[in-house]
Chains A and B, each alone.
Chain A
Amino acid sequence: DAKTTQPPSMDCAEGRAANLPCNHSTISGNEYVYWYRQIHSQGPQYIIHGLKNNETNEMASLIITEDRKSSTLILPHATLRDTAVYYCIVSSNSGYALNFGKGTSLLVTP
């Protein structure tokens, strides 16, 4: 799986958009970009994933650059409950496990 690079930490004010970047310059053509988050002492929670096109669901939006070498997860209106570690993972859509990096620790402040 391609390696990803994320900033170790970010802050965001409650109610504002949180934009979490991820670099994956070695991504291959059949690899998806997955985003998960982990709230303290819980299992990871799936957020969104995409291949080429931008994606949106009830939790977030995923913006993937045209060359697919980077992406941004957008939480449109961050709440205090969005404080968590966010993991960007690149993997083929197959039966393999996901390999977690260090992620970005997002702190949403009042």
Chain B
Amino acid sequence: GAVVSQHPSRVICKSGTSVKIECRSLDFQATTMFWYRQFPKQSLMLMATSNEGSKATYEQGVEKDKFLINHASLTLSTLTVTSAHPEDSSFYICSARDAGGRTGELFFGEGSRLTVL
């Protein structure tokens, strides 16, 4: 089945640095990818919708200048957490829907756990 891969799976960084997380659709093209984050013992919260070749759409309360999203190709979207702080520590998950698929299911990556010291 379709696979979405994220990298890195875990990252630890110092406060004030920037971290980039990659999300790839391995065997299908995705014009749209979605970024979620999940704090401990909470559900997934949609952060933004990444659109290939255009600007991302951010959910209310998510700072677009802090969470930079780039979707330069049909198989890759990146999320950059700029000037990370401890409160940005979270589990970041991307997802994509196979544009050519018929089931409409959303495929999720394995997640990237960010720890900001």
Contacts of B43 in A (CB 8 A): 87, 100-103
Between A and B, how many residue pairs show CB distances below 8 Å?
A: 51
Quick check: is A99 within 8 A (CB to CB) of the other chain? yes
Interface residues on A, range: 20 to 34
A contact patch SS:
loop
Judge whether A98 is part of the interface by a CB distance below 8 angstroms: yes
Stretch with Cβ within 8 A of A (4 or more), from B13-21, B76-84, B91-99 = B91-99
Report the Cα distance A45→B109, complex, angstroms. 9
Residue of B nearest to A44 (CB): B108
Please report B residues at the A interface, Cβ cutoff 8 Å.
Answer: 4, 6, 31-32, 34, 36, 43-46, 49, 91, 93, 95, 97, 103-111, 113
Report whether A97 and B107 are in contact in the complex, using a CB–CB cutoff of 8 Å.
no
Contact A49 B105 (CB under 8 A): yes
Q: Contact at B110–A42, with CB atoms within 8 Å?
A: yes
In the assembled complex, the Cα of A73 lies from the Cα of B103 at a distance in Å of 18
